[in-house]
Structure 1
Amino acid sequence: MKNYNWLNKPGKFSEDEQSLIIKTQKGTDMWQRTHYGFSKNNAPMYLTKSSQKDFIYEVKTVFNSQYLYDQCGIMIYLNENNWAKFSSEYENDKFQRLGGVVTKDGYSDWATQDIKSSINTIYYRVTRETNDFIVEYSFDNIDFHQMRIFNLAYGNIFNEINVGLYACSPQGNGFEAKFISPHFIVK
């Protein structure tokens, strides 16, 4: 994949022009302070920069998560203290969580909804409108549903943003996350 760079490069991964596979490692996560009292910024992220003020970014994720908190999805990254991730997160063999974390000024929040544990494919769509972002998901790449609308920098204008892919395993022994055909659509 062209024009992507690693932040926290994983030990095992493979890629071609259309896809990326990450084998996650135990102890990797993205979280800042709130509720749990810890900060983790070591999840592998494969990011590309965009200075487009208005764009749409889409990707298909396929995963076989199996350990508590295994997660894969999309990352919108300004810096260590200002970022957002949207992903599936494994809970148990009955359900997993589909949710998003928005981190501002070093504090994360988390909003979720339960989905079936048998789901192993999710499509994500991020729409940027200057500093505002709209995040949607789909299980079939036809019907998309809104997850969140947020402003990443409290109205302060920023020119460039990193957007891309991430996967991590805070507790488990790792899993394989596949990202297929990430791409931009300029609005």
Structure 2
Amino acid sequence: MKTTMSSDFIGLHEGKWTKEPVAARMDGDRFVVEAREGSDFWENTFYGFCHRDGHAMLAPWDGTEAIEVSFDLSSFTELYDQAGLMLWYGEDQWIKAGVEVNDGVAHVGAVVTDTYSDWSLSPVPEWGGRIVTIRASYSNDAVVIRARTDEHPWRTIRVARFAYPTNKHAGPFLCSPKRGGFEVAFTKWRSTTPDQDLHTDPPITD
């Protein structure tokens, strides 16, 4: 699936899908992707199943710079509609961080997977319809994951071990476990200056 390169989308020229979505296109300055019905990423925990058919466009990430993905929440309406930033080492070692609809409310959270998945989330109803940015900065075999909207400040949502000094990949992801026709408009995928400190918010450069 071919796309046109944009300076706001650093990985489009070298990124590869874990699984091809229904469609992907540049629409002006937005990268619009349609997920397949039933797509998801999950490994074993609680539910007892594995889903490895979500859509993540991954490009090499050495961790020397932070990575940020931004997307529009306007299309998030149904249970488990989700998108955000995927950090990837392999099928059994990955982190997806983003926004997901749960019980009718948008939640920000992360799924951290090392053979088994865990899920942490927090409701953010005030984020509805906003542009959300998910950010990951790598240091000391771990990632600090933060999130904000175009009108809300950074909040730290997870500090997680990700002890892979080489062969890391990162990029935008989306999944639609429950329905067809779910589209996400990504507005940025970029690298930027890494975090200075866990307790210091990074600058907002938009």
Fold match by TM threshold 0.5? yes
Counterpart position of 1:185: 192
Correspondence for 2:162 among 152, 155, 163: 152
Asked if the contact 2:85/2:97 (under 8 Å) is kept, the reply is: yes
Change (3 A) 1:17 1:129: farther
Change (3 A) 1:16 1:183: farther
When you count strand as a share of all residues, which structure comes out higher? 1
Write the deviation string for residues 9-62 of structure 1: whole angstroms up to 9, x where unpaired: 1121113795421111211000000001100010011111022x4221112111
Counterpart position of 1:139: 149
Counterpart position of 2:36: 25
Correspondence for 1:126 among 120, 131, 136: 136
Moved more, 116-125 or 20-29: 116-125
Asked if the contact 1:98/1:113 (under 8 Å) is kept, the reply is: yes
Deviation at 1:117, TM superposition (A): 7.2
Report the count of equivalent residues: 181
TM-score, normalisation: structure 2: 0.80
Q: Does 1:110 align with 2:93?
A: no
State the AA in 2 paired with 1:181.
K
Helix, strand or coil at the partner of 2:111: strand
Using CA pairs below 8 Å that are at least 6 residues apart, which structure has the higher relative contact order?
1
Unmatched 5+ stretches in structure 2: 1-11, 195-206
Counterpart position of 2:87: 76
Q: Which runs of 4+ in 1 moved over 2 A?
A: 15-19
TM-score, normalisation: structure 1: 0.88
- CA distance in 2 between counterparts of 1:17 and 1:171 reads 29
State the AA in 1 paired with 2:65.
F
Deviation at 1:142, TM superposition (A): 6.4
Asked if the contact 1:58/1:124 (under 8 Å) is kept, the reply is: yes
Unmatched 5+ stretches in structure 1: none
Asked if the contact 1:168/1:174 (under 8 Å) is kept, the reply is: no
Asked if the contact 1:90/1:117 (under 8 Å) is kept, the reply is: no
State the AA in 2 paired with 1:100.
A
State the AA in 1 paired with 2:82.
Q
Q: Does 1:168 align with 2:175?
A: yes
- CA distance in 2 between counterparts of 1:81 and 1:161 reads 13
Moved more, 134-143 or 22-31: 134-143
CA RMSD of aligned residues (A): 2.0
Asked if the contact 1:29/1:168 (under 8 Å) is kept, the reply is: yes
Helix, strand or coil at the partner of 2:124: strand
